[in-house]
């Protein structure tokens, strides 16, 4: 009997240093993509993948995330009185998306430690992990792709995508035996290797489906790159005890915790917006044509 993946951990306690000074007082996960914060896109992805309970690992300065997914009686009352019923429905949908619980990561000790903070709320079940500042726009929700593979292989699955060689040192890198198109059994996992030492160009992205035996490893995991407890290191240890897999997630990934990544995501989601896409495209084409004209002069 296959175990359903019903829960997901969202590690959200990071300081967002790549986006300072904006993130000095505001969570990077609350940056807006058109009219929704980044983290809401990731929650909606989890819900569309059959996940009904989300465990958000937060820290200081992340209260805005909790407020966003909570009921706002005052705002709902104002919208009701003004007859803005469509907006009222949108606002109510947010608090009804999923069962969301919160626990704090008291110290910034890395992704592996953040996942460990959710141990008591996960128990012995398989679970997903999703980084709240990575949005993946694809034909099927990214977590849904991984859950399907998890059920087929009956083991932990890490989402990966190929990256340019120059970007390899910024990621965990996976390599192994290809079982079928897009699916490999991992035999090598390295956190942020040099280009010369990297076993492949398959970068670990912010999506995982894991089993509860990872917690026992994380509990004794020694700090790795950056002096932090790395989830990649714990998964490498786990791979010596049971098969773990990597799957090439289909879809365009945007790292919105990075300034350029956020700008790219804003343009793409703006173009896809049914109300704004047309006029936004015209605007972009106009400024590009003006730019080309200026260069010609």
As given in the structure block, the two tokens for residue 121 are 């709320």
Within 92-224, strands assigned E span 99-104, 127-130, 134-137, 157-162, 172-180, 183-191, 202-210
* Cα separation, 210 vs 5, whole angstroms: 9
CATH superfamily of 7-257: Spore Coat Polysaccharide Biosynthesis Protein SpsA; Chain A (3.90.550.10)
Note the pLDDT of residue 17: 82
Cα Rg, the chain, nearest whole Å: 20
Is the bond into 21 cis (omega within 30 degrees of 0)?
A: yes
Closest to 16 in 3D by CA, of 34, 33, 38, 1: 38
Tens of pLDDT along 69-111?
A: 999 889 999 999 999 999 999 999 998 999 999 999 888 888 9
Per-domain boundaries in the chain: 7-257
CB 230 within 8 Å of CB 191: yes
224-256 burial, b if ≥16 CB within 10 A, otherwise e?
A: beeebbbbbbbbbebbeeeebbbbebebebbbb
Contact partners, residue 41, CB within 8 Å, separation at least 6: 33, 135
Q: Which residue is it, tokens 């300065």? A: 61
What are the pLDDT tens digits along the chain (297 aa)? Answer: 578 999 999 999 887 788 888 888 888 999 999 999 999 999 999 999 999 999 999 988 889 999 999 998 899 999 999 999 999 999 999 989 999 999 998 888 889 999 999 999 999 999 999 999 999 998 999 999 999 999 999 999 999 999 999 999 999 999 999 999 999 999 999 889 999 989 999 999 999 999 999 999 999 888 888 788 889 999 999 998 999 999 999 999 999 988 999 999 999 999 999 999 999 999 999 988 887 655 544
């Amino acid at each position: 009997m296959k175990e359903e993946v019903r829960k997901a951990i969202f590690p959200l306690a990071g300081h967002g240093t790549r986006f300072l000074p904006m993130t000095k007082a505001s969570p990077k996960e609350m940056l807006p993509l058109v009219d929704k914060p980044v983290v809401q896109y990731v929650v909606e992805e989890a819900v569309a993948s059959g996940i009904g309970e989300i465990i958000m690992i937060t820290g200081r300065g992340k209260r805005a995330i909790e407020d966003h997914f909570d009921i706002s009686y005052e705002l709902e009352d104002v919208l009701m009185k003004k007859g803005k019923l469509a907006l009222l429905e949108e606002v109510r949908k947010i608090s009804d998306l999923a069962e969301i619980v919160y626990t704090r990561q008291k110290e910034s000790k890395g992704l592996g430690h953040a996942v460990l903070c959710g141990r008591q709320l996960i128990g012995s079940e398989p679970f997903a992990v999703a980084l709240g500042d990575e949005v993946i726009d694809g034909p099927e929700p990214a977590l849904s792709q991984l859950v399907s593979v998890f059920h087929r292989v009956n083991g932990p699955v890490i989402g990966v995508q190929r990256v340019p060689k120059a970007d390899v040192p910024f990621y965990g890198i996976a390599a192994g035996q290809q079982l079928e198109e897009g699916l490999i059994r991992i035999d090598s996992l390295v956190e942020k290797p040099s280009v010369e030492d990297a076993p492949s160009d398959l970068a670990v992205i912010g999506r995982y489906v894991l089993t509860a035996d990872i917690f026992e490893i994380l509990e004794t995991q020694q700090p790795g790159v950056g002096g932090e407890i790395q989830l990649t290191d714990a998964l490498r240890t786990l791979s010596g005890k049971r098969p773990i897999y990597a799957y090439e997630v289909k879809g365009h990934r945007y790292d919105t915790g990075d300034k350029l990544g956020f700008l790219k995501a804003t343009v793409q989601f703006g173009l896809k917006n049914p109300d704004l896409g047309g006029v936004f495209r015209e605007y972009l084409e106009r400024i590009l044509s003006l730019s080309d004209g200026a260069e010609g002069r």
